[in-house]
Structure 1
Amino acid sequence: MKYYEDFHVGDEITLGGISVTREEILDFAKRFDPQPFHIDEVAAKSSMFEGLIASGWRTASICMRLYVDSVLNDSSSIGSPGVDQLRWKRPVRPGDTLHGKFTFLEKKPFRKGIGLLKGRAELFNQDGKLTMMFVGNGMFGTKE
């Protein structure tokens, strides 16, 4: 188990990998972001994206899942007060394989027994191209 004291500014953690399927893109978008370029392959071909793309919110949820698996599940995480930035840099398409990294940027005491860590998550496709990034804040329990 990692506590607030175990993380340091500049630490980089590799976030595992996941492949994105057409079915997954369609399912998520139909439920949560039903824009034509996410749910209709014909409309998507005539869009500026020239094909079906994943919702940015799906991409963000993939990044969060990888972060939870690689960092939070083995930590004293007690939640987040929010995200400062979220940017979608490149579309995610069916068949893409995504992987990422998380870099700790700032560290400061928050209140008794809790420290606040700020970090940047970056998600890349199989070609090493940045697809999205966010800067977020996390609260972690201290050892004392």
Structure 2
Amino acid sequence: MAQGVFFEDIEVGRIDRFGHYEVRREEVIDFASKYDPQPFHLDDEAAAKSHFGRLAASGWHTGAMSMAMMAKFFADVGYASMGGAGLDQLRWVKPVYPGDTLTMEIEVKAKRRSKSRPEMGLLDQHFTVRNQHDEVVMTYVATGLVKVREP
């Protein structure tokens, strides 16, 4: 992956919209069986009797799907990502169901150079995940680490 988007290139207020993740039933069940084995993530009958009304993806799975979209986007544009320093304010706003198609948006809210690591900058970012109806299904705030062009 060629790196072409560095800390210096990113402006506060920048909004990137990207992704296309088709949620598959088999993946919902597989993820839940390994990491969130609750009946409404595993069984149609149990899910129908729950507040979800049908089989729903785990919120943690929704987070993993958003990470897959983000990693692909970063690779496609050459984003000089160095990982993340954490996330806050995670909200699962609406359920995600098999058959949904997810997209993402990242807005840069603030940026600053690292005082202890001159080779990186920190971005405060707001993430929004939407379904195919443009309904928000998940939001969170995260601190991203991005390589600076010249420390």
- TM tier, shorter chain? over 0.9
The amino acid across from 1:103 in the alignment is E
Q: Give the alignment partner of residue 76 of structure 1, picking from 80, 86, 91.
A: 80
Q: Given the alignment of the two structures, is residue 88 of structure 1 paired with residue 63 of structure 2, yes or no?
A: no
TM-score computed with the length of structure 2 as normaliser: 0.91
Q: CA RMSD in A?
A: 1.1
- Structure 1's unaligned 5+ residue stretches are none
* Map of 1:110 onto structure 2: 114
AA in 2 matched with 1:123: V
In 2, the alpha carbon distance for the partners of 1:43 and 1:26 equals 13
The residue number in structure 2 matching 1:29 is 32
Which ranges of 4 or more aligned residues in structure 1 deviate by more than 3 Å?
Answer: none
**Residue type of the alignment partner of 1:16:** G
State the number of aligned residues: 144
8 A Cα contact 1:14 1:70, kept in partner: no
2:132 is matched with which residue?
126
Normalization by structure 1: what TM-score? 0.95
Structure 2: runs of 5+ lacking an equivalent: none
The equivalent of 1:139 in structure 2 is: 145
Question: Percent of aligned positions with the same letter in both sequences?
Answer: 38
CA contact (8 A) 1:109 1:115 kept: yes
1:13–1:70 contact (8 Å) kept in structure 2: no
CA contact (8 A) 1:79 1:138 kept: yes
1:63–1:121 Cα contact (<8 Å) kept: no
Compute the displacement of 1:71 (Å). 2.5
